[in-house]
Structure 1
């Protein structure tokens, strides 16, 4: 019995542009998220180091326990006196505080620079993958809708000419070989299309909305395609 034709991979297009893909990368990439947390921590450390270099004022209220002692002729004798307190702490180790500020500022600058570099790297990779994916789509459409159809027409014309005796058998085989070569190239582009989409989704960190385009079906008894 004849073996069934293997199924071709689906031709898929994504309904997304670069700005949407880049936003997904920023939102979903764990490395960028980790750097964002490190930047917030470095920013908090810098603020804390800066506060330590300022004088600190304190206001408080206290009382003295007189243990109910009473003295005759003294107003409010036996009552616990309430005392208002004001404190001022001066930063003595200013050199250490400034060094801590510089270190925290350098850490913040380093992490911010790392995050910017990583974002630029992901942006360039996203642009490249989208270009390759769209280029794959263009080639798929070109071969499916133009080149393979022309090769089919050439094969039909060659068969007619061979039956009429105007060309030899080798010319007929050559027409079949050309069609087969184009079909194999088309199948490779379908596989590359799926691989490019998988790379884009891996970069985005999520599955992307796609529009499936069924590839042209193979005819029984031959290797040609229908639109």
Structure 2
């Protein structure tokens, strides 16, 4: 019995350890990071609640005001508090009823405002996608830069060791040895800065995913994105047809149009107040009273000023729509130009700069070993290799950032639709 329990305990511990090792071994893709952020980000959840509130306001706008009920103790003698000695007791219910078309129009205003809020929520989702992808890009760049730094440190350690050997045997002066040592020290200093920046970038990515800022992250590689992209004209069409900010502005215009219609109705169409009273009379037969009243909306002229206000707000919304449209078109033009520039830069670094710098370094190493080239030339080649390596990484990440900026400019994660 004791051995069976111990065997069971050991088995459970092994299972837990194996599951923990699997969890630590999991890698976070950029798609996974975005999915987690969309599902857990508190900022987006707040926008969801605001959307629910806007939807609830549609029903509120279409509803009647609460009825009022009351009781009246009529003609009770002044010398008593006994209500039974009064002439009668009146029980009343009062209901205000707006002109029917007003309720419909109020509902239309609320519905259009809900649609504007819905478009704002869609834009909020895009913002979270962009923030998360940029945080992923930043951490990816820093981690890969650190890895390149370690590779370059290995290269310069080899050069330092080589020059140190020659220096101690008297084949060289200390100058070449010190040059290599200075370059190595620079790399070590850069590595320390990269480590600090990695902590900050990791915290930002975790916060967007609603995780502990210090939680460890094992990043997957970024996709290559070598496939063709849509043309500028297609992106522009996409912006005009469905950018959330444009849709929100259009919904605001429609809401203000409905609000103007409501103001005009308020100026001419009366509202009704209905009242029903049941009277209990101790010495007489009970009786009832019905009453109907309407307001005179055009009597004081107040509603004419409300119409002017609604007309002004409609013009504001229309001008804001034009402004948003111009801004979105300018943004997509600028962003697409940046995208094309970053793609060309990445292709150039990947196809030529890095390969040329690698060949130059290998050639310098070979000629230096034979004594045909001085150490300064070798150092220059190593520096060129370092710049090419980091430049290629930076161009690759900037290319990805440009794609993410396109998503923000279009107002949609078009990769899901167009990049299948």
Q: Partner of 1:43 in structure 2?
A: 55
Pair 1:154-2:166 in alignment: no
Post-superposition CA distance 1:165-212 (Å, at most 9, x none): 232122221111111111111222122111110111121121355359
Q: CA deviation at 1:159?
A: 0.8
Q: Partner of 1:104 in structure 2?
A: 110
Q: Partner of 1:93 in structure 2?
A: 99
Post-superposition CA distance 1:38-77 (Å, at most 9, x none): 222222332454577xxxxxxxxxxxxxxxxxxxxxxxxx
Cα distance change, pair 191–138 in 1 and its aligned pair in 2 (3 A): same
- 1:166 is paired with a residue whose SS is coil
| C-alpha RMSD over aligned residues | 2.6
- 2:211 is paired with a residue whose SS is coil
Post-superposition CA distance 1:140-165 (Å, at most 9, x none): 22222x21111111001111111222
2:193 to 188, 195, 213: 188
Q: Partner of 1:201 in structure 2?
A: 206
TM-score for both structures, normalised by structure 2 = 0.35
1:176 to 171, 177, 181: 181
Q: CA deviation at 1:36?
A: 1.2
2:137 to 131, 138, 155: 131
CA distance in structure 2 between the aligned counterparts of 1:126 and 1:102, rounded to whole angstroms: 36
Pair 1:210-2:212 in alignment: no
Cα distance change, pair 14–179 in 1 and its aligned pair in 2 (3 A): farther
Pair 1:115-2:121 in alignment: yes
CA distance in structure 2 between the aligned counterparts of 1:31 and 1:195, rounded to whole angstroms: 20
TM-score for both structures, normalised by structure 1 = 0.63
Q: Partner of 1:216 in structure 2?
A: none
- 1:210 is paired with a residue whose SS is coil
CA contact (8 A) 2:38 2:129 kept: no
Pair 1:15-2:22 in alignment: no
CA contact (8 A) 2:28 2:218 kept: no
Post-superposition CA distance 1:77-109 (Å, at most 9, x none): xxxxxxxxxxxxxx8712211221122112211
Looking at both structures, which has the greater relative contact order when contacts are Cα pairs under 8 Å and sequence separation is at least 6? 1
CA distance in structure 1 between the aligned counterparts of 2:45 and 2:179, rounded to whole angstroms: 57
Q: Comparing both structures, which one devotes a greater share of its residues to helix?
A: 2
Post-superposition CA distance 1:5-30 (Å, at most 9, x none): xxxxxxx9982222322233223333
Pair 1:32-2:44 in alignment: yes
Residue segments in structure 1 that go unaligned for 5+ positions in a row: 1-11, 53-90, 213-227
Residue segments in structure 2 that go unaligned for 5+ positions in a row: 1-23, 65-96, 220-420
CA distance in structure 2 between the aligned counterparts of 1:174 and 1:184, rounded to whole angstroms: 16
Cα distance change, pair 177–149 in 1 and its aligned pair in 2 (3 A): same
Q: CA deviation at 1:116?
A: 1.2
CA contact (8 A) 1:13 1:137 kept: no
Cα distance change, pair 14–189 in 1 and its aligned pair in 2 (3 A): farther
CA distance in structure 2 between the aligned counterparts of 1:183 and 1:131, rounded to whole angstroms: 23
Range with greater deviation from structure 2 (14-23 or 127-136): 14-23
CA distance in structure 2 between the aligned counterparts of 1:113 and 1:13, rounded to whole angstroms: 39
